[in-house]
Structure 1
């Protein structure tokens, strides 16, 4: 069977979903010995950087399924997985789904205290940890620690039970939000929901020209990580998944660049913070010619970072000499969130692209979007900012053990994503901020922190990244602080206040308290790499109050 016919067969298989990809690939006769997934760490004695076949992946998963079964884990049992390495995440994810259990995947960068509270709220049956998170054993979790992740591969694969048969709405994973405002929320995904975008888009779109080798630097314990692995397996793409961590969540820029030069991927997956990290470097000095596509999800990426990336890499083009690689790559921006299950919008940028200003493009065909006035539930007119409402088969089932917030985020049949956008006359959507971060300045004026950051980066070319924090004081006065992370060759003594004010515009600039240059680690981030603006707003208000009391 040809590759396209095989993909069509998978797309039509309604038993196939996020919880049984390995099983259904085998049942459809996929090549068990072709290389599929590579990790940069050892897997059960298999050296790092060794490509794992479907047969090896299935055998290692079966060993873990037996290990969990011997510890009493079964159908519908939530099990927390709090580990660092990507194979410890994915192999245990597949193993628990083989039993019909529900893996609760936790980002390894979540602080121990938050992790303990997350597990208590989960009310599962046990936890798997690794050596990096052994301190969790000192906390009262309400459930036992089943063992160390290094032990899970010691089960007998021949003794693993038959694969549980999933219903489309069965829960197959619990992941978590970024935790920017509170303890990360536990979000539960269904068998079909977490596979819906793969079925609707990834298995039906044209297969790229030539060999496809993808590199993921997404956090493995994220819905986007699961989707990336499953779509690569179903498309027979080779995938390298990095575990080496640096910064708040993402692999360090040096690690990523070294991996690109070593492994020669054609595509790279990451979050917005990844591209900010890469933008610190002179990318023209690295051999990035293999990269044709950069794939972003989560927050939309900044123009200043995208332009640096599309200037490197290559893409195939037809010439009189036939198909050749020419300079310049493509950046695919897919705004999404954990609750959305997959990015709902998509826009592509190349050299010469000029459709920025936080434009996130148009929705995927499977996503129905409405921009809503949440006070009336009605849609806002074109050009007016509204709350994003989403109807999509990719949506998570809700928040685990939290029906209050599950239903609080629903309005008129839509899921409220927490994003603010407007639609332009061409039908493109523009993201201006998260609803929790925007501030009403009165008289029809709003302060949108994300849009402000975009404009500062565009007006200040020697600023690598920035964060805008806006808070309302008790007397209703709004105060704003701008934190700048400078490029390595920028002058740290230069006062950029006037540039920042010009970028913000007079109404927002009138709220500006100060512009501060900070180091790269001077911004508080959550485990998934998002800025914790809620916490930083509290600090800003405390600082303003202290200044006023001593002034």
Structure 2
């Protein structure tokens, strides 16, 4: 698609009052998109198509229509909540597209969720039906309607007309990472999960977004956003069923994407590799969502690849890629903040940048007063992208509202220029508005920046005899020498955390418990460390 044509196409989509998360595929086709143009590419087989076959828009629509017909024949329709528990990207994404087409509400579960937690999560949803793949079906106590692959046997010609969504209709339920137990079920509507994309359609298309490798967790809100973004942009995307860094690196070398989308855990894994010796030249842009990324990981990524820049001689390609960082969550609906790094960047220190134009943010006290620049507090966020609440959970829906703001559970401050800096998650910090300011995430950032032979680290603050103690777990680079790093860690973390440092331990990558999306389960780790301290 030529540049001028692409701009006109994006403008038409942005002006369409009916477009939203529940009908992007149908709307793009109705607007006259070329059915021979790009649809989606999956890393596993889709019905009779082999793995990594680039489905055209027409082929994608036909496979969705088959699933739509299958669901309609079994009475699945408007407002039915259908849980989908599977690993393969095509199982999740095609089920989502078909369920929304019949007006149902897909509830997407991460394939790594523990079976007991999955059963309890599904029970709380009060679902109409469950779709589970062959690996997950026998793990559930809940009755399973079918495997997602079964839906492909439907007759596309018998698919009913697509459901007509109202702007406030619920269209998908995703879940939080579950760092403290059973995940919360995050609801999004036809418009909340499309508001950011509609804004982006009015902007010039960013370089790197024409050929995307999706390394985001497939059942996450972020992947739903990406599916709709590439369909609207008429771009190419390969969706990976696993986000392990080895697989991502292999696909970068083989498939040669221009943009790679992922979570911080994937960047940490890639940064452990000798990227300069790998074929990374195709990458122009890395896009991070969820937790903000660490400076040493970003620096290793932007050192490879290439990007287009404007000079006196016009547009030229230069070595080194972009890294777009920020902070996002399922509830926020899209990254709320953004900052772009290149090899020349110096604006780190857990800076998450400024809010997008469609959003606003502030720093709040515990009682909801807005705090001035330089003062640490609770992040408050407003945006048309924010989830209306948690499914079947009014208590938590209102608990995370304060003085008209959605509170994300993060501690931040902003500088005089309006840049926001992430300090920690509230449950992981010891940071009253007066008294000690003990931050685990900020301490991790400082350790990684100061100790180049540390590949990754985790800081946990535990209560000990009415006092606080900090434990530091270091994952070392393969060639790191065996030396005592306690003094170096103390020097890096700052006086307040250094004063409570109890021990520095070297661990392996598998010794730190993580959630289904790769976030460290610091609550579980704290409990383990406290138990060890008492014994």
Q: When the two structures are superposed, what TM-score results if normalisation uses the length of structure 2? A: 0.97
Alpha-carbon shift at residue 117 of structure 1 (Å): 1.1
Alpha-carbon shift at residue 286 of structure 1 (Å): 0.6
Aligned: 1:47 with 2:37: no
- What's the counterpart of residue 271 of structure 2? 279
Does the CA contact (< 8 Å) of 1:300 and 1:333 recur in 2? yes
Q: Distance in 1 between matches of 2:295 and 2:511?
A: 22
- 1:233 is paired with a residue whose SS is helix
Aligned: 1:269 with 2:261: yes
- What's the counterpart of residue 359 of structure 2? 367
Aligned: 1:512 with 2:510: no
Alpha-carbon shift at residue 71 of structure 1 (Å): 2.2
Alpha-carbon shift at residue 209 of structure 1 (Å): 5.5
Query: Alignment length, in residue pairs?
Result: 532
Q: Distance in 1 between matches of 2:311 and 2:371?
A: 47
- 2:509 is paired with a residue whose SS is coil
- 1:483 is paired with a residue whose SS is strand
- What's the counterpart of residue 162 of structure 1? 161
RMSD: 1.5
- 1:352 is paired with a residue whose SS is coil
Does the CA contact (< 8 Å) of 1:373 and 1:379 recur in 2? yes
1:29-68 aligned within 5 A:
29-68=32-71
Does the CA contact (< 8 Å) of 2:377 and 2:433 recur in 1? no
1:215 to 213, 216, 234: 213
- What's the counterpart of residue 246 of structure 2? 254
Does the CA contact (< 8 Å) of 2:39 and 2:59 recur in 1? no
Q: Distance in 2 between matches of 1:32 and 1:434?
A: 45
- 1:298 is paired with a residue whose SS is coil
Aligned: 1:479 with 2:469: yes
- What's the counterpart of residue 334 of structure 1? 326
- What's the counterpart of residue 525 of structure 1? 514
Alpha-carbon shift at residue 160 of structure 1 (Å): 1.1
Q: Which runs of 4+ in 1 moved over 3 A?
A: 208-211, 317-324, 440-443
Change (3 A) 1:485 1:154: same
Alpha-carbon shift at residue 254 of structure 1 (Å): 2.1
Q: When the two structures are superposed, what TM-score results if normalisation uses the length of structure 1? A: 0.94
Q: Distance in 2 between matches of 1:196 and 1:86?
A: 24
Aligned: 1:422 with 2:420: no
Change (3 A) 1:129 1:333: same
Alpha-carbon shift at residue 325 of structure 1 (Å): 2.3
Alpha-carbon shift at residue 188 of structure 1 (Å): 0.6
- 2:188 is paired with a residue whose SS is strand
Q: Distance in 2 between matches of 1:543 and 1:367?
A: 44
- 1:336 is paired with a residue whose SS is coil
Does the CA contact (< 8 Å) of 2:110 and 2:218 recur in 1? yes
Q: Distance in 2 between matches of 1:135 and 1:483?
A: 37
Q: Which runs of 5 or more residues in structure 2 are unaligned? A: none
- What's the counterpart of residue 248 of structure 1? none
Q: Distance in 2 between matches of 1:157 and 1:298?
A: 37
- What's the counterpart of residue 489 of structure 2? 500
Alpha-carbon shift at residue 321 of structure 1 (Å): 7.2
Q: Deviations over 1:340-366 (max 9, x none)?
A: 111100000001100000001100011
1:58-457 aligned within 5 A:
58-137=61-140, 139=141, 141=142, 144-201=143-200, 203-208=201-206, 212-243=210-241, 245=242, 251-318=243-310, 323-374=315-366, 376-440=367-431, 444-457=435-448
Change (3 A) 1:440 1:209: closer
Q: Distance in 2 between matches of 1:442 and 1:117?
A: 37
Alpha-carbon shift at residue 496 of structure 1 (Å): 0.8
Alpha-carbon shift at residue 229 of structure 1 (Å): 0.9
Alpha-carbon shift at residue 322 of structure 1 (Å): 5.9
Does the CA contact (< 8 Å) of 1:438 and 1:447 recur in 2? yes
Q: Deviations over 1:225-266 (max 9, x none)?
A: 0001100110111111111x2xxxxx2222111111111111
Change (3 A) 1:241 1:512: same
Change (3 A) 1:315 1:73: same
Does the CA contact (< 8 Å) of 1:439 and 1:471 recur in 2? no
- 1:531 is paired with a residue whose SS is coil
Select between 126-135 and 364-373 the one with higher mean Cα deviation: 126-135
Change (3 A) 1:520 1:155: same
Q: Distance in 1 between matches of 2:71 and 2:510?
A: 39
Q: Distance in 2 between matches of 1:119 and 1:52?
A: 32
